Structures are given as structure tokens and as C-alpha cells.
Amino acid sequence: MPGLKKISQTEWGKVHRDVATGAPIAYDPDTDLYDPNDPIQVADFFATAKIVRKPGRPKAETTKIPTAIRLSSDVVEYFKSTGAGWQSRIDAALRDWMSGHPLKRV
């Protein structure tokens, strides 16, 4: 989604220099959960860590299949001019057409 990209506050130049020189990672026992310079504490922390994911959009009852089709420019412009959800409206228009034109198997 446009406009949602977060800008990193990390000073990557300093990170790369510290890695190259082997400088220890800053650690504050009052605020940090473990000492990142102690391999045992790092292993213990990640052994008990849980992955937390934000719940995404709920799954629809009927999912759609991504596809690429070629449409006339005026058709695309018409539906785009109707605002957000224009692709769903194309889907609805095709579904409406299907209801009046039953598939004839050969």
C-alpha cells in the first residue's frame, strides 16, 4: 500500500563499521531483555521466543484468482473512474453476464 513504508531509524553505516571491526553491541541491562554479546543468553532468548504476527485481512468465503487479461482501454478507464473497487465491479459485471449466458458444452 502506498505511503505505509516505514523509514528505518537504524544508522546502517555504523552497523556495518561495527560488524567489520568486531565492536561489541551496546547493551543496557535495565532496558534490554538479554545481552546480545553473550551467545548463551542469545540462544536462550530465541529458544523461547514466540513469533507474533498481526492478524491480516480475514479470508473471503470465495477467494479470487489473480489473472492478467487484455481489456479495451475505454473499458478499463470507465471502471477505474468509478473509484476504489473497480476490479471487483468488473468481476460483478462478468458474473452478471454469465448469469444470462449459460455455458454450452460442445
pLDDT in tens, 61-91: 888 889 999 999 999 999 999 999 999 999 9
Give the pLDDT confidence of 15-62 residue by residue, as tens digits: 888 888 888 888 899 999 999 999 999 999 999 988 888 888 888 888
Alpha helices of the chain — where are they, by DSSP H?
12-21, 39-48, 73-80, 86-100
Distance CA 22, CA 15 (A): 10
For position 88, what pLDDT does the model report?
Answer: 93
**How does residue 3 score in pLDDT terms, banded at 50, 70 and 90?**
low
Distance CA 33, CA 101 (A): 64
